[in-house]
Chains A and B, each alone.
Chain A
Amino acid sequence: MRSLKVLAVLMGAVMGVVTGLAASVSQGSTAIFTVPTLIRLTVDTATINFGSLTMDDYDLGYKELLGAQIVTVWSNRDWTLTVAANSATWTGPWAKPASDLELKVASVSKPGRVTSYASAYFGLATTAQDVAVGIPGGNIAFTMDFRVLLDWDNDVAGDYSLGFTYTLTAP
């Protein structure tokens, strides 16, 4: 029994020495990166072509193009998508007002990233109007419907065109 105690004491001493030999060294490091404000805006087609109008279009009061354009947004901070006519009137046989071109958002690919959007038609103006407002996200696609208003009294025959511009802002 006595020898066992001695052995136990010796083992304890050896373990203590081994524990005492354990050593460590540390080095601190730092990772750093920067994120600028990043936004991107694309349209799948730059021209909305209503083609040649018919008497039925005049009788209906408008011609509509459904899903004529897809506008896609990327932004890493809260954003606003607006649209504005480049001029107050169309170019053509008469000064057809820009507001005769109406548009609305038909569908959104990532509704969870969009706070609000224009689901009802509104006429274009030279001042910016909101198309949609949202939170950070990427590849957020808006399918757009277009409508041009028509009436027999003013819209004489000829070629009409109106430029308009989307603007993506991340304040």
Chain B
Amino acid sequence: MGSPVPKSRAALFPSVWVLLFSAVLAFGIVAAGQDTGWLNPSQDFGDFVFGWRAYYDDNQSALIWAYWDELSHIFWGYEFPLPSGAVIRGIEVRIDAWSWRLGLEQPLSLRVQLSWDGGSSWTHTYETGPLPFRQTTVILGGPMDGWGRTWRREELNPTDFRVRLFAYGMGRLDWVAVRVYFSGGLSLALDPATVNLGTLTLDDYERGYRDWDGIQWIKLSAYNSWALYISATSSIWSYTGDLPDPKKPCGHLLWRVLPTLSGGVTRSQTNFTPLSTSEVEVASGPAGDALLPITFRLLVDYDTTVPGTYTLDFRYTLIVP
């Protein structure tokens, strides 16, 4: 059942369409929903030695010495960032482990189960092994695999959700991570959250502005029709430098939505619009997932763009009326 870690890279080309396509790849296929990313446990109990060393993907590892009997160990404390209304599609468990031998011990084999009620009940079992004598990543379950049951969002909490490992043989365990796939709900993700516009040049001053096409992607999921708004948290940019604060207005940052390949958007603002402290609608759409590429334009002039560093906080709000 074990499978290698999937690896994908989106090639970068100057075309906006290629950027759009790349972003879709980077986020995953929109229709397939979202995932939590790999989550770490924070508690453990059982037979493994130094079980806490399997909390993180690092250079520390728990010791498993199950030479005569099968040993078991339970990990929990996973914090699931699941939005309200999310529908759980699948669960993956990632095991980073390897066989380790002092003498004639058997190589390590593992069986894995999940619990949704704090360890009273357990799902069916996935097995992996014997593992090689070099660190290996094994992923059990999958994006559409509920391990034999349908999960409710409420069951995925740090106390009730648990991972139990049965081990036979001798080995090391570096990481026991969990990833949950979900759809629906109400979620909003930004990539990146910090938009680094870089360093300006004199050409930007002469042009009077500088554009960054698709520099930020908004991925949202809503269980009902939705509207997305944007607003600045301050009317001026925060300035750090050796000159008097030029009080650059937040409206010098303009935004617009690039046409998108993905569906799920009924209406979007495709004209450059100045950022303001009032909420302005970015886009709206029906229930489901949507991916919005945002282009920013910075107005550059000699009076309000003096040497220094500028930051501006702004906020997206996704509303289901």
Q: Which residues of A contact B (CB under 8 A)?
A: 21-38, 40, 74, 76-77, 113, 135-139
- Those of B201-238 within 8 Å (CB) of chain A: 201-202, 205-206, 216, 233
- Which chain A residues border B84 with CB–CB below 8 Å? 23
CB distance from A61 to the nearest CB of B (A): 42
Q: A22-B321, A138-B202 are in contact. Are A33 and B188 (CB under 8 A)?
A: no
- Which chain B residues border A35 with CB–CB below 8 Å? 199-200, 241, 305-310
CB-CB nearest in chain A for B218: A27
CA distance A113 to B298 in the complex (A): 23
Contact A29 B311 (CB under 8 A): no
Interface string of B299-321 (1 = CB under 8 A from A): 00011011111111111111111
Contact B201 A29 (CB under 8 A): no
Q: A24-B319, A34-B200, A74-B202 are in contact. Are A29 and B310 (CB under 8 A)?
A: no
Contact B305 A24 (CB under 8 A): no
Q: A25-B188, A138-B302 are in contact. Are A34 and B318 (CB under 8 A)?
A: no
Q: Most A CB atoms within 10 A — which of B233, B302, B310, B317?
A: B302
CA distance A29 to B296 in the complex (A): 13
A30-B194, A136-B302 given; name 6 further pairs at CB < 8 Å. Answer: A27-B193, A28-B313, A33-B197, A34-B198, A37-B307, A76-B306
CB < 8 Å: which of A28, A33, A74 contacts B310?
A: A33
- Which chain B residues border A25 with CB–CB below 8 Å? 83, 186-188, 317-318
Q: A23-B84, A29-B193, A77-B306 are in contact. Are A38 and B200 (CB under 8 A)?
A: yes
Let me know if B15 is at the binding interface, CB within 8 A. no
CB distance from A142 to the nearest CB of B (A): 17
> DSSP majority for the B interface?
strand
- Which chain B residues border A74 with CB–CB below 8 Å? 202, 205-206
Contact B306 A36 (CB under 8 A): no
**Interface residues of B toward A: which range?**
35 or more
Contact B318 A31 (CB under 8 A): no
Q: A29-B193, A30-B313 are in contact. Are A22 and B319 (CB under 8 A)?
A: yes
Contact B202 A29 (CB under 8 A): no
CB < 8 Å: which of A29, A32, A36, A40 contacts B307?
A: A36
CA distance A35 to B199 in the complex (A): 6
- Which chain A residues border B298 with CB–CB below 8 Å? 33
Interface string of B74-91 (1 = CB under 8 A from A): 000000000111000000
CA distance A26 to B74 in the complex (A): 35
- Those of B284-308 within 8 Å (CB) of chain A: 296, 298, 302-303, 305-308
Contact B199 A34 (CB under 8 A): yes
CA distance A26 to B228 in the complex (A): 9
Between-chain CB contacts (< 8 Å), 8 pairs: A23-B84, A25-B186, A26-B316, A29-B195, A29-B314, A30-B312, A31-B296, A74-B205
CA distance A25 to B220 in the complex (A): 10
- Which chain A residues border B243 with CB–CB below 8 Å? 77
CB distance from A37 to the nearest CB of B (A): 5
What are the 5 tightest A-B residue pairs by CB atom distance, in nearest-first order? A33-B197, A136-B302, A24-B319, A31-B195, A26-B317
- Which chain A residues border B233 with CB–CB below 8 Å? 28
Q: A24-B319, A136-B303, A136-B306 are in contact. Are A31 and B193 (CB under 8 A)?
A: no
- Which chain A residues border B320 with CB–CB below 8 Å? 21-24
CB < 8 Å: which of B83, B201, B309, B318 contacts A32?
A: B309
